[in-house]
Structure 1
């Protein structure tokens, strides 16, 4: 059984949701970042971490990719054009949504107060709006990669939810309904309740 280290209100949620979608059993240790428990699995204290037997993996996207490849679910097969396109979408989401949201979080609470630049958040909100519009334009079907849900959908929905919590501007109706449909999935609901 997998062990997921991290709280549900963090990037660990991505891993929890993915495991629920794949119907794989897991145990969650709700450790916060830089906590003593988190430090046992990642010297930097970052979450999430995934324990699979004797192996420990870190970084939510690396963990999700590992799980998708290991179980052959929520992914295109490695070495295919479809997988290259999926990976390109995943990396784009990390660069253009996740990184912007993390920068805003750093300047809200993560950095020491004396080095925070609250005014940067207006520029980050502008960047996020531009990226969200691009994502909306790229959404051509029920899911980002077509007719089947894949890893990028979990990542995109998590970022869109994060943006709501961070009081970023509302996305257009197309993205709003896309994220709403993902939040209605039983696996999302189960991961949320954990």
Structure 2
């Protein structure tokens, strides 16, 4: 994080953390501008009033965390820091490949099902019920749907682990041997679910525990987390 380069607008204790992590993985200079949803700074760039927002130095604006991390992975795929240290693989697979198809599919499941139909319903109708109406039944069903969707993703991880070292291209991550932006999205959702007590169905699963440790010990995650801690301590 610097005072030059493109801007990431939002607050770290939000989906903006996904973009912070991605930016740290890529290693480019960027500015992090603390702004809350529906603030004038946010509405200037996103008529929906939501964060995160990514603003290029030439004025190009992008919002929605999945779109931002994918854009960054595509744009900076040829930088040396956007590669696995051992396998020289990419954070976002190239368009038109089977790997990209699986990436897009997994990204869609995480955003549209795990997040929007699960975690966001809890936040909307319990945490922010004063604004959106408290609907306990909706939250109960959202938790069940979260667990149903998460079982599919956990099985995807286990299938990859079982195929590790074979011609099946398996490995410890959601797409196999390569850490990608969908892992960033998934780990953020898992940590979010822990903060609201929705982790009882998966917190003892050895595959998930090893996966979380593998992802969260990455230096980019640690750097992004330090930004998050500073942001949280400011109580803004």
Same fold (TM over 0.5): yes
Query: Following superposition of structure 1 onto structure 2, how do residues 139-178 of structure 1 map, counting pairs within 5 Å?
Result: 139=157, 140=160, 141-170=171-200, 171=202, 172-178=205-211
Cα distance in 1 for partners of 2:33, 2:190 equals 25
The yes-or-no answer on 1:93 pairing with 2:97 is no
Q: Do the aligned residues in 2 keep the contact of 1:3 with 1:27 (CA within 8 Å)?
A: yes
Greater alpha carbon shift after TM alignment, 74-83 vs 103-112: 103-112
Higher mean displacement: 122-131 or 18-27: 122-131
TM-superposed CA distance for 1:111, in Å, is 4.5
What TM-score results when the alignment is normalised by the length of structure 1?
A: 0.94
Whether 1:84 and 2:71 are equivalent positions in the alignment is: no
CA-CA distance at 1:40 after TM superposition? 2.1
Structure 1: 4+ residue segments shifted above 4 A: none
CA RMSD of aligned residues (A): 1.5
Moved more, 107-116 or 35-44: 107-116
One of 31, 34, 38 as aligned partner of 2:35: 31
Unaligned 5+ segments in structure 2 are 78-89, 161-170, 228-236
Look up the SS of the partner of 1:119 in the other structure: helix
Residue deviations 1:92-132 (CA, integer Å, cap 9, x gap): 11122111101111011334457220232222222222222
**Greater relative contact order, per chain length (Cα 8 Å cut-off, separation 6+):** 1
1:38 positional shift: 1.5
CA distance in 2, matches of 1:55, 1:150: 24
8 Å contact kept, 2:129–2:135: no
